[in-house]
Amino acid sequence: MQLCIDFGGTEIKLAVIDGAQVLTSRAVPVRGDAGDLAAAADAARGLVAGTGTPTAVGIAVPGVVDPATGRMLHANAKYDFLRELDLQDWSRTELDLPAVVENDARAALIGEAEASGERDVVLVTLGTGIGTAAMIGGVALRGRSGHAGILGGHATTDIHGPICPCGNLGCAEALASSWALGEQHEGLTVHDLFQGDAHQELRDGFLQVWGATVVTLIHMYDPAAVILSGGILRAGDAVREPIETYVHAHLWPSVTPPRFIVPPEPELSVARGLAVLARGTTTHHDQEDQ
């Protein structure tokens, strides 16, 4: 049994998972300061009180994780307080459990790749930002400093577009994400775009940017499958079909089009991947103890 803590864009999502079964889950709102750590710890202790003691914790953060230390190197300003914090030590102190720390999109990829059986796959999460991750031959790409595969949302889709907070020009995330929408249209969310036809032009623009992002990832990694995840995928085919149509129209001619997968519970993709990683951490510790 594993405890999963996902520091998301608007909520900290927690779940207790046993095998493939989610035993219980809850979410607490993000404040954007160090109080979020205390809230996460309190929520975690409350969550496991009625389910038994987990063997390990999986922690997801919306930023770059150093593969050597497990510390977050960089993230959205909202989570600056997590930068360089030893979350493994935090877990031992607050929860008395070993922990593994991973980028949120990469964790989601690991969970959904296991569920799909695919070994060559890319994942795109759509929501507050645009998260991406890639797997080749069953191995999630991390690179020498943890950046490999996860910066697809910061590929330029419009050279004349706005400057992204990352410093690049015309990033997909700067053009088609919840935070970018908030910059341009006060009070409007990505979810609003898919409620009726009041914002059709905006919605179509977002779908084109998302499609262009997926094309770039396919050209880079040649996957057998593309997983589309994140809360907005509750809209299902209204998101998937336009993206898939765009991709088929713009792929390099000799590329074999991948199949598209939308998880049945996209909001739990990260938690499922964290459970897989946490199980691996437990196995690792058991082997060390023998």
The tokens 């779908």 sit on which residue? 207
The tokens 């710890």 sit on which residue? 41
According to the model, what pLDDT value does residue 284 have?
45
Cα distances (Å, whole numbers) of residue 152 to 35, 71, 263: 30, 21, 20
According to the model, what pLDDT value does residue 254 have?
97
Read off the pLDDT of residues 52-93 as tens digits, 9 standing for 90 and up.
889 999 999 998 998 888 888 877 667 888 887 899 999 999
Quick one: DSSP state of residue 162? P
pTM over 0.75: yes
Length of the chain, in residues? 290
Instruction: Using a pLDDT cut of 70, give the percent of the chain over it.
Output: 96
Q: Which domains does the chain have, with CATH numbers?
A: 2-104 (3.30.420.40), 107-266 (3.30.420.40)
Read off the pLDDT of residues 101-124 as tens digits, 9 standing for 90 and up.
999 999 999 999 999 999 999 999
DSSP string, 44-82: HHHHHTTT---SEEEEEESEEE-TTT--EEEE-GGGGGG
Q: 101 and 206 in contact (C-beta within 8 Å)?
A: no
According to the model, what pLDDT value does residue 8 have?
87
Question: Residue 281 and residue 285: Cα distance in Å, rounded?
Answer: 6
* Helix residue ranges, H only, 117-199: 172-175, 178-184, 190-193
Question: Residue 43 and residue 5: Cα distance in Å, rounded?
Answer: 10
Read off the pLDDT of residues 193-203 as tens digits, 9 standing for 90 and up.
888 888 999 99
According to the model, what pLDDT value does residue 282 have?
60
- Does residue 207 sit in helix, strand or coil? helix
Q: 24 and 271 in contact (C-beta within 8 Å)?
A: no
Nearest to 3 by CA among 62, 58, 61: 58
Enumerate residue ranges in the chain where pLDDT < 50.
283-290
Q: 24 and 78 in contact (C-beta within 8 Å)?
A: no
